């Protein structure tokens, strides 16, 4: 009995929580917790109801999908219910789904599959009568949604009239979404205007569609991918899903360019993997792939259970957002003394990895988030981007949550922390006498894009600085075998290896050398541009503000940094010592000292993943050759380098008939210009 009471209580709790979050998500367009957290609550509710059938209830949120329509809009009853999808999250589950389908079909039925991205947007129904857009509606709870006709009419991607060969009556279904570019642009404008930004693209789409004033919707960046038919007038009878999509395209309805048919499950698996690799370059958010049986006759045989068709499944990718708690905020001192607050998190699985730190950038960011110790926060991690704290879930703040303050002294060396002018970044004022700054400068000097000193790892740098064996990069080249061999975890052999690596590193390139110096704001790209322009260290050290600003991408701030850097006698001395100790590079071919810029005036775009070069290396090389490297493709683009996973940029380039090369072709091209990196 006591057990029953506990189950009843937990069910009641879970239902209330699920209803609350459904309301925030579907009605207020202001979700409080990440989707993954909601899914967990919902799944727990489903399994508890399954274990205790006596406690089932017809008004449990498990008995409907989505939320009932709000009263602000007229209600639209769907002629055919808008279903939801069963989901899986690994290839085994997918195989089991396919097996189940085969089991329900006849022996000679041969299903093929249609695969599509699962768009993270809002499911809608568009009703065309006499080929004119008559009504747009949200899915709502699957049976009835909201009439959003006026809003839907403002979306450019949705035709208001279909061509004459389309059925007179047609209900098209699909997903309205907010492209990521548009989402960022919208938020930038909102922040400048002092308005509330949108939480994520999905909420942006939902919130925009549920505006009472269509003029507001019209200003929102929205688009749509169409993927199914609700009802249609007889006469048009496609046999397969892929046929439906072909017809949609022909009628000017937007279909996802990555929709694809697959002959067997193996091909579906390949599709799912490839799509996941492209996930962050699609330009819109997806949360998985949908695999559907392509043949309608087979779909009919499979039917549906509990509002979910048996003939389709959503393969969910790892969520890119998760919630966790902040135990502490640590302050790290960087190469230039910048003090960065870092949130120490209860480890959480997000975007496919376990995360226990997230950068907080600076104090302004902590203020913006109103982050306190003990808070529950939402972490976002996509692709290889470092995890970010998106926001605080205020309702979960413990009563004793402590505010975070910037330390007044450097946590490493104890020097005062200063914040100059209107800079948001606070810095340790000790410069290279602060061991943290010293270590970071040495790490930077040895890093892969700088002098690339193999074997000079973090721990070793720590020891070298702490034992005062090294204080400037030049000191590295003065180390002796005995000094190195005496360090912890080093023996004769490792000491010899490191000396050999130091020797190798002396043979470098001018861009790497400039980058390695660690001038503030001078990344690989700028370093390459400076090297191409000035050709020699003397010329660079002698350059004034005006000459510096003639270099592509060098504005007044960067020019000032370069001048200030070389105005410091210590920096000049270290640079010169490095050369005296044997650091050297080959002068570019051609007329001595004349910069080589064969790609002057060209604009290149890099997209997809490169395997032999990093994006940054490729960018640095191109800039060194005089090209500009842009983030998006336009008529002015000269060439596109596309690696695996290239998405919309590649498509756009092809549309504009711009030359697209893969990485191998790109490396060949660089070799022709004597610009390929030695190890590629």
Residues that bind ligand IVH (CB under 6 A): 83-85, 116, 118-119, 123, 139, 175, 227-228, 290, 309, 312, 314
Q: Least CB distance from residue 498 to ligand IVH, whole Å?
A: 53
Residue with smaller CB distance to ligand IVH, 242 or 623: 242
Q: Burial-class residue 606 by CB neighbours within 10 Å (0-12, 13-18, 19+).
A: buried
Pairing of strands 87-88, 312-316: parallel
d(CA 360, CA 370) in angstroms, rounded, equals 11
Q: Least CB distance from residue 27 to ligand IVH, whole Å?
A: 17
> Is 118 annotated in the active site?
yes
Q: Which residues contact 627 (CB under 8 A, 6 or more apart)?
A: 599, 600, 602, 603, 604, 638
Q: Least CB distance from residue 119 to ligand IVH, whole Å?
A: 4
Residue with smaller CB distance to ligand IVH, 206 or 329: 206
Pick the closest to residue 425 from 490, 505, 365, 499 (CA basis). Answer: 365
Q: Least CB distance from residue 300 to ligand IVH, whole Å?
A: 14
Q: Beta-strand (E) ranges in 73-215?
A: 75-77, 87-88, 113-119, 122-129, 132-138, 144-146, 169-177
Alpha helices in 29-76 (DSSP H): 35-51
Residue with smaller CB distance to ligand IVH, 198 or 312: 312
Which residue among 118, 316, 439, 649 is the active-site one? 118
Q: Least CB distance from residue 462 to ligand IVH, whole Å?
A: 49
d(CA 377, CA 348) in angstroms, rounded, equals 11
Q: Least CB distance from residue 241 to ligand IVH, whole Å?
A: 9
Count other Cβ atoms within 10 Å, centred on residue 468: 9
Residue with smaller CB distance to ligand IVH, 285 or 663: 285
Residue with smaller CB distance to ligand IVH, 85 or 461: 85
- Residue 657, phi-psi category: left (phi > 0), alpha (psi -120 to 50), beta (remainder): left
Pick the closest to residue 446 from 458, 456, 459 (CA basis). Answer: 456
**What residue number has its CB nearest to ligand IVH?**
123
Three-point CA angle 149, 154, 158, nearest 5°: 80
Fill in the DSSP letter of residue 280: G
Tell me which long-range contacts 355-359 makes (C-beta under 8 A, separation of at least 24). Answer: 355/324, 355/379, 355/381, 355/387, 357/387, 358/386, 358/387, 358/388, 358/389, 359/386, 359/387, 359/388
Residue with smaller CB distance to ligand IVH, 255 or 543: 255
- Compute CA distances 55 → 58, 66, 452, whole Å: 10, 22, 65
Q: Least CB distance from residue 495 to ligand IVH, whole Å?
A: 58
Structure tokens at 6: 């506990």
Phi (first) and psi of residue 229, to 5 degrees: -115, 135
Residue with smaller CB distance to ligand IVH, 200 or 526: 200
Residue with smaller CB distance to ligand IVH, 122 or 404: 122
Pick the closest to residue 447 from 476, 479, 487 (CA basis). Answer: 476
Q: Least CB distance from residue 87 to ligand IVH, whole Å?
A: 7
Pick the closest to residue 150 from 218, 205, 68 (CA basis). Answer: 218
Q: Beta-strand (E) ranges in 304-385?
A: 304-305, 308-309, 312-316, 321-333, 339-350, 353-359, 372-373, 376-380
Catalytic residues: 118
């Amino acid at each position: 009995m006591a057990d029953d009471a506990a189950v009843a209580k937990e069910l009641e709790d879970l239902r209330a929580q699920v209803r609350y979050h459904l309301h925030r998500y579907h009605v207020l367009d202001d979700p409080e917790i990440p989707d993954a957290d909601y899914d967990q609550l919902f799944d727990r509710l489903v399994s508890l109801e399954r274990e205790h059938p006596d406690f089932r209830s017809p008004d449990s949120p498990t008995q409907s999908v989505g939320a009932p329509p709000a009263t602000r809009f007229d209600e639209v009853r769907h002629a055919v219910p808008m279903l939801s999808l069963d989901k899986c999250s690994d290839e085994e589950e997918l195989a089991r789904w396919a097996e189940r389908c085969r089991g329900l079909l006849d022996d000679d039925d041969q299903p093929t599959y249609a695969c599509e991205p699962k768009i993270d947007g809002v499911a809608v129904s568009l009703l065309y009568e006499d080929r004119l857009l008559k009504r747009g509606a949200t899915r709502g709870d699957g049976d009835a949604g909201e009439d959003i006709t006026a809003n839907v009419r403002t979306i450019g991607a949705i035709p208001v009239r279909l061509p004459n060969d389309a059925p007179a009556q047609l209900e098209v279904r699909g997903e309205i979404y907010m492209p990521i570019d548009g989402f960022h642009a919208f938020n930038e404008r909102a922040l400048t205007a002092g308005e509330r930004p949108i939480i994520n693209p999905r909420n942006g789409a939902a919130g925009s569609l549920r505006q009472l004033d269509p003029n507001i919707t019209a200003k929102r960046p929205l688009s749509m991918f169409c993927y199914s038919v609700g009802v249609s007038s007889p006469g048009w009878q496609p046999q397969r899903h892929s046929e439906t999509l072909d017809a949609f395209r022909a009628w000017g309805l937007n279909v996802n360019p990555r929709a694809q048919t697959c002959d067997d499950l193996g091909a579906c698996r390949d599709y799912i993997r490839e799509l996941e690799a492209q996930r962050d370059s699609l330009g819109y958010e997806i949360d998985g792939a949908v695999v559907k049986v392509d043949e309608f006759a087979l779909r009919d045989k499979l039917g549906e259970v509990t509002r979910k068709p048996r003939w389709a499944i959503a393969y969910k990718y790892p969520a890119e957002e998760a919630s966790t708690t902040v135990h502490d905020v640590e302050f790290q001192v960087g190469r230039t003394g910048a003090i960065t607050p870092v949130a120490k998190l209860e480890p959480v699985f997000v975007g496919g990895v376990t995360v226990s730190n997230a950068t907080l950038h600076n104090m302004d960011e902590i203020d913006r988030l109103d982050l306190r110790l003990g808070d529950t926060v939402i972490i976002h991690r996509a692709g290889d981007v470092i995890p970010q704290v998106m926001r605080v879930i205020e309702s979960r703040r413990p009563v004793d949550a402590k505010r975070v303050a910037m330390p007044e002294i450097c946590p490493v060396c104890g020097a005062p922390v200063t914040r100059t002018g209107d800079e948001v970044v606070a810095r340790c004022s000790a410069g290279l006498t602060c061991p943290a700054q010293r270590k970071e400068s040495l790490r930077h000097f040895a890093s892969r894009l700088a002098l690339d000193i193999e074997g000079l790892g973090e721990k070793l740098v720590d020891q070298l600085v702490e034992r005062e064996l090294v204080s400037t990069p030049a000191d590295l080249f003065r180390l002796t075998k005995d000094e190195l061999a005496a360090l912890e975890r080093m023996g004769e052999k490792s000491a010899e290896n490191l000396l050999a690596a130091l020797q190798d590193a002396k043979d470098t390139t001018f861009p790497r050398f400039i980058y390695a110096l660690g001038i503030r704001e001078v990344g690989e790209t700028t370093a390459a541009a400076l090297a191409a322009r000035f050709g020699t260290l003397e010329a660079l050290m002698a350059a004034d503000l005006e000459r510096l600003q003639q270099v592509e991408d060098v504005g007044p701030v960067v020019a000032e940094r370069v001048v200030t850097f070389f105005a410091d006698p210590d920096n000049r001395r270290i640079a010169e010592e490095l050369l005296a100790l044997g650091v050297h590079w080959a002068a570019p071919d051609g007329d001595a000292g004349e910069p080589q810029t064969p790609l002057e005036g060209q604009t290149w775009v890099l997209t997809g993943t490169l395997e032999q070069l990093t994006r940054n290396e490729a960018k640095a090389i191109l800039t060194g050759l005089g090209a500009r490297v842009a983030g998006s493709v336009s008529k002015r683009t000269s060439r596109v380098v596309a690696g695996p996973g290239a998405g919309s940029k590649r498509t756009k380039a092809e549309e504009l008939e711009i030359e697209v090369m893969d990485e191998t072709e790109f490396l060949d091209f660089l070799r022709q210009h004597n610009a390929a990196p030695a190890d590629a």
